[in-house]
């Protein structure tokens, strides 16, 4: 069986944290007690967990009950939840939301415009926390892995006071990383651009550490 990706491990670790903080009555968990330290650091970078005090972590969201999760799927209409078939034994395909062409009127205009001009093998379009892809019969939508698209990242860095020279250097590093690691998302999930920026290969999103 192939080793689990950091994304899969982070999902399992997040559920563990949510269960533990609910069971212990503290509403938070000691960082050092989390079994998968690499996954918890990944969650911290994504912003799914935070440190309310030094040495302690807390999930941003509460653990959903089975009924709540089912309701969320049912209430996603007109988006339809799908899980692709495993390509080989041991695969755990990631579910996604599908929107048929006739229902594209619900898409934000920026997303619809981007998808209409997109090829089936094109890079995903990132918009307000989701990644979108064009596919046969409609559109595919997943939650973004990171927190920023390239454009929103550069805009936020500019607001944070980065100089034009610094922004140009960062953009050059991003261009180099995307070119060097194109097509390698199955082997490498993320690449550091700088000490505070991480590039996520699967959907071309970025995480910015505070």
- Tell me: the pLDDT tens digits for 93-146? 888 999 999 999 999 999 999 999 888 877 899 988 899 999 989 999 999 999
Tokens encoding 29: 């968990």
Question: Residue 63 has what pLDDT?
Answer: 67
List Cα–Cα distances, 201 to 101, 125, 186, 193, 207, in angstroms: 27, 13, 9, 12, 11
Tokens 């212990």 belong to residue: 24
Question: Residue 72 has what pLDDT?
Answer: 45
Tens digits of residue pLDDT in 44-55: 887 888 888 888
| pLDDT mean over 151-168 | 91
Dihedral sign for Cα 64, 67, 69, 72, please: negative
- What's the pLDDT band for 3 if we cut at 50, 70, 90? low
Lowest mean pLDDT among 21-30, 61-70, 86-95, 132-141: 61-70
Cα–Cα distance for residue pair 139/135, rounded to 1 Å: 6
- What's the pLDDT band for 168 if we cut at 50, 70, 90? very high
Does residue 147 have a pLDDT over 80?
Answer: yes
Contact 76, 97 (CB under 8 A): yes
| pLDDT mean over 70-95 | 73
Does residue 166 have a pLDDT over 60?
Answer: yes
């Amino acid at each position: 069986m192939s080793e689990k990706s950091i994304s899969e491990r982070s999902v399992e670790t997040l559920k563990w944290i949510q269960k533990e903080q609910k069971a212990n009555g503290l509403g938070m968990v000691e960082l050092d007690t989390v079994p998968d330290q690499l996954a918890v650091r990944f969650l911290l970078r994504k912003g799914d967990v935070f440190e309310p005090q030094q040495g302690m972590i807390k999930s941003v969201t509460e653990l959903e009950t089975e009924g709540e999760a089912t309701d969320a799927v049912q209430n996603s209409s007109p988006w339809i939840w799908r899980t692709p078939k495993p390509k080989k034994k041991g695969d755990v395909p990631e579910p996604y939301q599908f929107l048929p062409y006739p229902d594209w009127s619900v898409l934000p205009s920026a997303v619809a415009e981007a998808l209409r001009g997109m090829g089936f093998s094109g890079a995903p379009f990132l918009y307000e926390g989701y990644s979108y892809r064009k596919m046969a019969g409609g559109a595919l939508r997943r939650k973004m892995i990171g927190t920023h698209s390239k454009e929103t990242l550069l805009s936020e860095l500019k607001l944070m006071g980065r100089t034009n020279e610094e922004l140009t250097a960062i953009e050059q590093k991003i261009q180099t990383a995307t070119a060097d690691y194109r097509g390698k998302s199955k082997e490498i999930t993320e690449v550091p651009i700088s000490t505070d920026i991480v590039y996520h290969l699967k959907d071309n999103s970025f995480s910015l550490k505070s």
